[in-house]
Structure 1
Amino acid sequence: MDKWTTGTEKTLKLPSKAFFIGTWNVRTLYACGKTQELTHELKRYSWDVIGLSEVRWTGFGETTLVDGHKIWFSGEETTHQYGVEFLVRKEIANCSISATPISSRLISIRLAAKPHNITAIQVYAPTSDHEDDEVEKFYEDLDNSIAKVPKKDILIVQGDWNAKVGPDAFLQWAGTAG
């Protein structure tokens, strides 16, 4: 797939400002009003970049929301399944160098920052119920994407890994799983 080059006008300066990046499985943004519901909910949090999984949008592209936040997304061509995206707060949207749709389960974004640029990869992994070929293709695409990240970049790989960790995982790994 193609890469979007956005051209940076601004550079984030780290660590002088806290930078908040997170991930969220939204289950769907395909229904009418879901994107507005999401941005309304995010007003309660400090955030700069949110990687989203299971958005269920088709194709790939970019859009600017009414409130100025920027979205880059990647999904299936014709079916409303899977789908990943990055939602970037309007105040730092012009720090993006590029966004690359990899598949309906992987997307990456590169942000200009000092002392090092930031590359984030958002994932929506297939469960163990999927065919072995699909799982292998996902991890192969992820490995290839990581290999393309410049060595000096801060690399963040995040998302919904669809792991099955057991009913008491929140007790063993408090704050990490649950």
Structure 2
Amino acid sequence: MRRAPLALGAVVLASGLALAGCGDSSSGTPDVKVADAFIPEPASGDMAAGFFVVRNSGAADTLTSVSSSVAGDVTMHSTKNGVMREQESFAVPADGELDFERGGNHLMFENLKRKPKEGDKVTVKLHFAESGTVEVAFPVKAATYNPTASSSSSSSSSSSSSSHASHSSQ
């Protein structure tokens, strides 16, 4: 008779593990949203930087490339210990964020076809391995703009760029 309680315990444990797996987004699909996108007005006419946050409420994804009609080339960079390195891709964690911010990960718009001016919006296409292409309007801000140093009212206005995001297949 000791086997019945043991078997019941095993069934309860297995059911609990199965239910825990239901909330695991790693087996689902990514759900990426882009927020807080901006380009500081460049000092020169040939290069600009770009910053944004990818918020993912689903399974992991990978940012594989970026493109924009304003630049001949858009490259992705990481910065660690003051050293900037070009990256081929960036992991977007499941149920997490990927930040592109001053002093850290960032975009470089190279060989600009025109110099973006404060107040402009630059269309940028973010290409993800699983989510396809997400098109975002990056507002051009003052050269000194820094959302982490701004008041919450300025920061919330920069997040309006997320409403311009749209998904399309590659």
TM-score normalised by the chain length of structure 1: 0.27
Larger strand percent: 2
Q: Which structure: larger Rg?
A: 2
